[in-house]
Amino acid sequence: MSASLEALEEALLARIRPLGRVVVAFSGGIDSTLVLAAAVRALGRENVVGVIGVSPSLAARELEQACGVGVEVGGRVERLETRELEVEGYRKNGPDRCYFCKTELYGALGRYQDENGYRHALDGTNADDRLDQRPGHRAARELGVLSPLLEAGLGKAEIRELSRKWGIRNWSKPASPCLSSRIPHFMEVTVEKLAAVERAESYLAELGLLDFRVRHHGDVARLEVRPEDWPMLMAPGVRETLTRKLKALGFRFVSLDLDGLRPGSLSLDLKGA
């Protein structure tokens, strides 16, 4: 490990050590996983709990994988029901949807924190997130949630490198935003749409694909898949079976996006990219 990364590692642990008992807003992504692992190292398992918000916007397979990796890094993981779909601003699905989501999550986290005697709540915001507009980070600031990765200066590359050094198995896991990110802005988020996206993406996962999105455009399912994985979809019988399954979910048309996988493509479309 390079001297600079070693310094970042110590800065991260030093930022957490004085905090006492902490709750980590845990999603199973590499950022919050590293925060959970660092908190366990800095404070001891008995003083740390990872809390994962459970709602229709979280795919069941992501929930189970998150709980598994949380235990692997030595943490305790609690499931906490969140109700962002009851929030009008979230359902309206504007560019600030994540603000309403995180406000609901961090509010529930704060109540859990107070009821169980934890001093602080932490999230996985990192140094690279300063380069983007992050409505969710605004919610964290408003509700007093701390961001030790950001404060210690760790960006995504350093997070992956340190995670690999610590033996965290999801160090290379692609980003997996919530299911609501598959619905274009200003199209209402509903339980039915989220369920259709989750089921459609589970079909792609069953084929062995690792990184993909199914975008919900009303009666059109737009598949974003890496070009190198297209032959898998075109294999004899696979295309027909996949199309039939997605149409059974309520889609009239199933399309393959020739631009391939573009994480955040709906936000790019909003900007006219």
Tokens for 244, please give them: 């039939």
Q: What is the mean pLDDT of residues 242-255?
A: 98
Rounded Cα gap, residues 191 and 210, in angstroms: 24
Rounded Cα gap, residues 16 and 39, in angstroms: 6
Rounded Cα gap, residues 125 and 34, in angstroms: 11
CA distances from 60 to 31, 32, 109, 179, 197 (A): 20, 18, 20, 11, 12
Query: How do residues 110-156 score in pLDDT, each as one tens digit?
Result: 999 999 999 999 999 999 887 666 788 889 999 999 999 999 999 99
Is the pLDDT at 91 greater than 60, yes or no? Answer: yes
The residues, ordered by sequence, that sit 6+ positions from 73 with a Cβ below 8 Å of its Cβ are 33, 36, 37, 40, 166, 168
Share of the chain above pLDDT 70, in %: 95
How much is the pLDDT for 273?
A: 41
179-271 carries CATH number 3.40.50: no
**Which of 18-32, 71-85, 119-133 is predicted least confidently?**
119-133
Q: What is the mean pLDDT of residues 155-183?
A: 93
Strand 220-225: give its sheet, edge to edge. Answer: 212-217, 220-225, 253-256
Q: What is the mean pLDDT of residues 8-37?
A: 97
Strand 22-25: give its sheet, edge to edge. Answer: 77-81, 48-54, 22-25, 120-122
Rounded Cα gap, residues 127 and 60, in angstroms: 29
- Residue spans per domain, the chain: 3-165, 179-271
Per the prediction, the chain carries an average pLDDT of: 93
3-165 and 179-271 agree in CATH topology: no
**E-assigned strands of 44-161?**
48-54, 77-81, 120-122
Q: How far is CA 221 from the centre of its chain?
A: 21
Domain 3-165 fold is: Rossmann fold (3.40.50)
Query: How do residues 45-69 score in pLDDT, each as one tens digit?
Result: 999 999 999 999 999 999 999 999 9
Q: What is the mean pLDDT of residues 98-102?
A: 95
